[in-house]
Amino acid sequence: MQQTLAILKPDCVQNKLIGKVISRLQSEGFEIIGMKMVKLTKDTAGEFYAVHKERPFYAELVEFMTESRVVVLALEKDNAVEELRKVIGATDPAEAEEGTVRKMFAESKGRNIIHASDSPENARIELSFFFSAKELIENR
């Protein structure tokens, strides 16, 4: 089993799509092992996306991620990192495959409904950004 991190972004929360997206993730076989709703500050969002600091969209991204609350999910599945990236689709919904979460629900490359870790190493880093080891103990 592998773990990965997803964030239901402010557009997902604002458009009342939390239930639909979580339902999709569960039907794809992801086990929710941690879940919290948080309001990110500029500092927290900026730190989470620090790898994009030099990119032209960084300020817009931080602004967007702090518009309203987000839902942070710790997910477990075989090959979870790759599987989740597949289910969410390409960053830009215009380029995402039919049936992917971003194709179905996202409005633009910036406002694209969901974040997912892009490697097992980043998944570990990102999970520990939002969850303590105590919170993610296996339930078996």
Which residues fall in the annotated binding site for ATP?
9, 57, 85, 91, 102, 112
Nearest distance, CB of residue 11 and Mg ion, angstroms: 16
d(CA 80, CA 1): 8
CB burial of residue 12 (10 Å; 0-12, 13-18, 19+): buried
Q: Which of 36/53 has CB closer to ligand IDP?
A: 53
Q: Is 52 an annotated catalytic residue?
A: no
CA 131 to CA 8: how far, in whole Å? 15
- Rule CB under 6 A: say whether 4 interacts with ligand IDP: no
Catalytic residue (one of 22, 83, 115, 130):
115
Three-state secondary structure string covering 75-91: EEECCHHHHHHHHHCCC
Residue 58 Cβ, how far from ligand IDP at the closest point, in Å? 8
Residues marked active site are found at 115
Q: Which stretches of the chain bind ligand IDP, using CB under 6 A?
A: 52, 57, 60-61, 91, 109-110, 112, 115, 118
